[in-house]
Amino acid sequence: MHRDVAARSEKLRQQARGRREKKAHVRLAKFALGDFVLVGKIIKFPNKLALNWKGPYRVSRVDSDYVMEVQQLVEPFTTSVHHASRLKFFSDAALDVTDALVDYAAFGDESFFIEELLGARRSADGKFEVRVKWKGLDEEEASWEPALQLYEDIAVVLRRWIMKNASDGVVKEMRDNLEATLGHSL
């Protein structure tokens, strides 16, 4: 009896999936092991439904047609599981991990690249900021950027810089503040 119920359930599930896949607007990309993808993460502000595409990541495991595990290309090489609707292709699987691609992943996917982090301070409103020297710009054009925003954009680079400058009192305070805000250690 249980075998019949399970078979009927599987048949109905496959029929429903087939109906969904016939609709053009429901087609999801099929990802293979080794593909480079961008991961869509929901940003809190200004719209809770807005996606911010981060990456690239490499597909490290395919659980099903719609669920994939992706891995960061830079330290700490963490993995996370995502539905196919939250992934989009970055490049094809034939692309090998080169230094340029790793740098791209480490420095974020924005149009400006960070050359160096120069220092930290607490602003007048009590929030921490990091002085950023931008690649291709002079040091006089360095700007103070919110530490939390930098962590969201370039977590690996900021984490390395914080560990390297842990003896600085302001950097230590900033690390403690970030850990409390994020709810996990850096």
Q: pLDDT digit string (tens) for 153-169?
A: 788 888 889 999 989 88
Domains of the chain are: 36-95 (2.30.30), 114-182 (2.40.50.40)
Average pLDDT over residues 159-186: 89
Which tokens sit at 80?
Answer: 């996370």
Record the pTM. Answer: 0.46
Residue 122: how many CB atoms within 10 A of its CB?
14
pLDDT at 98: 55
Which residue has 């305070």 as its token pair?
173
Strand arrangement, sheet containing 114-122: 114-122, 128-134, 143-146
Which burial class, exposed, middle or buried, applies to 105 when counting CB atoms under 10 A from its CB (0-12, 13-18, 19+)?
buried
Q: Which of 38-47, 97-106, 175-184 has the highest mean pLDDT?
A: 175-184
Which of the two residues, 13 and 46, has the higher pLDDT score?
A: 13
Average pLDDT over residues 5-13: 89
pLDDT at 66: 80
pLDDT digits (tens, 9 = 90+) for 19-47: 776 665 656 677 888 888 888 887 666 66
pLDDT at 104: 61
Average pLDDT over residues 72-91: 82
Residues near 155 by beta carbon (within 8 Å), at least 6 away in sequence = none
Residue 50 to residue 35: CA distance in whole angstroms: 24
pLDDT at 137: 75
pLDDT at 150: 86
pLDDT > 60? residue 116: yes
Binned at pLDDT 50, 70 and 90, residue 105 comes out as low
Residue 174 to residue 172: CA distance in whole angstroms: 5
pLDDT at 70: 92
Residue 90 to residue 97: CA distance in whole angstroms: 13
Average pLDDT over residues 34-63: 78
